[in-house]
Amino acid sequence: MKLFIYHTPERVPTDHLPDCAVVIDVLRATTTIATALDAGAEAVQAFSNIEELMRQSESWPVDKRLRAGERGGVTVEGFDLGNSPLACTPKVVKDKRLFLTTTNGTRALQRVAKSPKVITAAQINRQAAVNYILSTQPETVWMVGSGWQGDYSVEDTACAGAIAQSILQQSDTSLIDLFGNDEVIGAIALYEQWKDNLLNVFRQCSHGQRLLRLDGEADLKYCSQTDTLDILPIQKEPGVLVKY
């Protein structure tokens, strides 16, 4: 198995695909996707484009759908929900399909949607992603951070490092056999440095600051937890994620 990390969707190669793509948007899209499925949502269907989301969700029964999403961290006007994982309680999402659009996370998903296997990961479901990778042993794994509008986001790379480190610890492979690009070594070092204080990093990083300006302290706390949900979102058709 070879692990590759790409800090942003823009850095992902365009001429081939991995056996397994792991999309990461810790703040907050992939945290929200894991939380919604854990709370009983039927599926989360991701869109990078608001118009397309409106068009496709229109054909879904009104009592079985929720339109959710943000631009710049702020709820899209007229939508049922924003992108806060804390809003995804069983009472709100159970048996419903979330039609979700976000600034970066849904774009990252779209970039690798044609890969044979696509899963999403966040800090809260890190171990579930690790378990899946270890049990299925894909030849190539790409971990794709969502970043922010083409720029690097430290929280996504730290999560990719957390996954890589856990795979390394739980398999017989050495780092030199496992890593496919230098980003993996950097991400493991980053995670090692901050693993006991992720919330502090989240409060300081650019998107954390943006969310704090939008009253997002509770979201940051929730997203910074490690292995709190044993759930793995997996793509069943392009853009549609269900519980594995």
Contacts with ligand MLT by CB under 6 A lie at: 25, 27-29, 70, 73, 83, 102-105, 146, 211
The residue with its CB nearest to ligand MLT is 102
Q: Nearest distance from residue 209's CB to ligand MLT, in Å?
A: 12
Q: How far is the CB of 220 from ligand MLT (least distance, A)?
A: 10
CB of 50 to ligand MLT, least distance (A): 13
Residue 34 burial by CB count (10 A; 0-12/13-18/19+): exposed, middle or buried? Answer: buried
Closer residue to ligand MLT in complex, CB, 106/166: 106
* Spatial distance between the Cα atoms of 121 and 24, rounded to a whole number of angstroms: 5
Nearer to ligand MLT, 27 or 160 (CB): 27
Residues 59 and 142: their CA atoms lie apart, in Å, by: 34
Q: How far is the CB of 103 from ligand MLT (least distance, A)?
A: 4
> What is the distance between the alpha carbons of residues 45 and 128, in angstroms, rounded to a whole number?
20
Q: How many CA atoms lie within 13 A of 28 on its CB side?
A: 35
Q: Which is nearer to ligand MLT, 27 or 184 (CB)?
A: 27
Query: Do 187 and 121 touch, CB atoms closer than 8 A?
Result: no
Q: Find tokens 């706390």 and name the residue.
A: 221
Closest CB to ligand MLT among residues 102, 120: 102
Measured in whole angstroms, the distance separating CA 235 from the mean position of its chain's CA atoms is 12
Min. distance of Cβ 93 from ligand MLT in angstroms? 16
Q: Whose Cβ is closer to ligand MLT: residue 9's or residue 161's?
A: 9
Q: Phi and psi at residue 143, in whole multiples of 5°?
A: -100, 120
